[in-house]
Amino acid sequence: MSSRRTTITVTLGLVLLAGCNAEERGHAIKLDKGVYAGASDSVLSDATRLALNQRMIWQTDGPARVATATGPAAMPSGTAAVTGRMAGQNY
Amino acid sequence: MARMKFLCDAERCIHCSGCVTACKNEHEVPWGINRRRVVTLNDGKPGQRSLSVACMHCSDAPCMAVCPVDCFYQTGDGIVLHNKDLCIGCGYCFYACPFGAPQYPSTGNFGGRGKMDKCTFCAGGPEADHSKAELEKYGRNRIAEGKLPLCAEMCATKALLAGDGDMVSTIYRERVMARGFGSGAAGWGHAYREQERTRERKGPGAKE
């Protein structure tokens, strides 16, 4: 009788512990020091990088802008296009 | 690969706090949190300067080094971001950061601080770009839209520069060469009576 109760207890314990995994808790449980264990971020496309560099020209002054810019910075297009906002919104 | 950096040109900052307002508005940052703020140096004295300060996205970030749950990561463009799902709100990063960038939304029972919040360089977080979760947790992801941080883009005097570190330094270098730097600038000594004060310190009749 006693061994049966022990078996049930151990089985129940194992079942409960099986629920303690990272996915069900929603975050990492086992930590490896110095290693980021969260979700990975998206990588910027070349078009987005180009758009960012173009917008940097807006931060320069008059003389510097004349020296470095070939024209007004274009709004991002293609994969870098604005989503979820008004089209053509500058800021 | 670019390394995204901020630079505040103290000669130009007029302490208008437009950057602070732009940041709070863009990311709908709640009361009590300032991802960006303007500080004054040498307040009321000659040489007073204002500086806009936020997370500087350090290349060797101390917050990343001290975080006990490793919730920080650096994007390929050098932007230091963190994962609020992993953050336990311990506050170590706040003590490690030389700029006081990490902010905590609330003080609850037992000293609970809530998840840390800081400037994201308008690059959102690890959630899918432009998703509702990303907006709620981290604010807008302007970088994925091909836009620079709003604080810098809205700066009326163009004091706050943001973007690829190489380009930022090029712009700043051009400015410094055009105007001179600090006490080396034309008229600086006259404006702040430096020679007179030096004479006063040394006493009457002292040679320059």
B17 within a domain of the structure (yes/no): yes
Cβ of residue A58 closer than 8 Å to a chain B Cβ: yes
- Judge: B148–A40 Cβ closer than 8 Å, yes or no: no
pLDDT at A72 over 50: no
Q: Which residue of A has its CA nearest to B125?
A: A41
For B71-76, the CB contacts below 8 A with 24+ separation are B71/A36, B71/A38, B72/A36, B73/A36, B73/A38, B73/A41, B73/B126, B75/A41, B75/A43, B75/A44, B75/B123, B76/A43, B76/A44, B76/B1
- Of residues A68 and B33, the one with the higher pLDDT is B33
**A70 to chain B, minimum CA–CA distance in Å?**
15
pLDDT at A21 over 80: no
Q: What sign does the CA torsion over B120, B147, B3, B165 have?
A: negative
Count: domains in chain B? 1
pLDDT at A73 over 50: no
B195 within a domain of the structure (yes/no): no
The total of other beta-carbon atoms located within 10 Å of residue A79's CB is 13
Please tell me the predicted confidence (pLDDT) of residue B181.
60
Residue ranges of chain B with per-residue pLDDT less than 70: 1, 107-108, 111, 180-189, 192-201, 203-208
Please tell me the predicted confidence (pLDDT) of residue A63.
46
For B180-187, the CB contacts below 8 A with 24+ separation are none
Please tell me the predicted confidence (pLDDT) of residue A67.
43
Phi, psi dihedrals of residue A27, rounded to the nearest 5°: -155, 170
B118 CB-side CA count, 13 A:
25
B201 within a domain of the structure (yes/no): no
Q: Give me the residue from B70, B164, B175 closest to A56, CB to CB.
A: B164
- Judge: A61–B158 Cβ closer than 8 Å, yes or no: yes
- Judge: A42–B175 Cβ closer than 8 Å, yes or no: no
Q: Give me the residue from B70, B129, B163 closest to A31, CB to CB.
A: B70
**B126 to chain A, minimum CA–CA distance in Å?**
4
> What percentage of chain A has pLDDT greater than the value 70?
52
Please tell me the predicted confidence (pLDDT) of residue A23.
58
CATH number of the domain encompassing residue B54: 3.30.70.20
Please tell me the predicted confidence (pLDDT) of residue A85.
53
B8-45 CB burial, b ≥16 within 10 A, e <16: bbeebbeebbbbbebbbebbebeeebbbbbbeeeeeee
Please tell me the predicted confidence (pLDDT) of residue B106.
74
Please tell me the predicted confidence (pLDDT) of residue B107.
64
Region A50-69 average pLDDT? 68
Count how many pairs of residues, chain A against chain B, have C-beta atoms within 8 Å.
Answer: 118
**B167 to chain A, minimum CA–CA distance in Å?**
8
pLDDT at A48 over 90: no
Taking phi over 0 as left and psi of -120 to 50 as alpha, with beta for the rest, B5 belongs to beta
Torsion angle of C-alpha atoms B200, B201, B207, B208, degrees rounded to 10: -90
Please tell me the predicted confidence (pLDDT) of residue A27.
62
**A56 to chain B, minimum CA–CA distance in Å?**
7
Quote the domain boundaries for residue B35. 4-182
Report d(CA B10, CA B160) in Å as an integer: 9
Measuring CA to CA, which residue among A36, A39, A75, A24 is closest to residue B129?
Answer: A39
Grade residue A25 by pLDDT with cuts at 50, 70 and 90. low
| Interface ipTM | 0.77
Which residue shows structure tokens 């839209």? B145
- Of residues A10 and B194, the one with the higher pLDDT is A10
Report d(CA B126, CA B71) in Å as an integer: 11
pLDDT at A68 over 50: no
Report d(CA B162, CA A56) in Å as an integer: 8
Please tell me the predicted confidence (pLDDT) of residue B183.
57
B188 within a domain of the structure (yes/no): no
- Judge: A52–B125 Cβ closer than 8 Å, yes or no: no
- Of residues A86 and B41, the one with the higher pLDDT is B41
Which residues have C-beta within 8 Å of that of residue A83, sequence separation ≥ 6? B130, B145
pLDDT, chain A, mean:
70
For an interface test with A, the pick among B77, B83, B169 (most A C-beta atoms closer than 10 Å) comes out as B83
B190 within a domain of the structure (yes/no): no
- Judge: B146–A80 Cβ closer than 8 Å, yes or no: yes
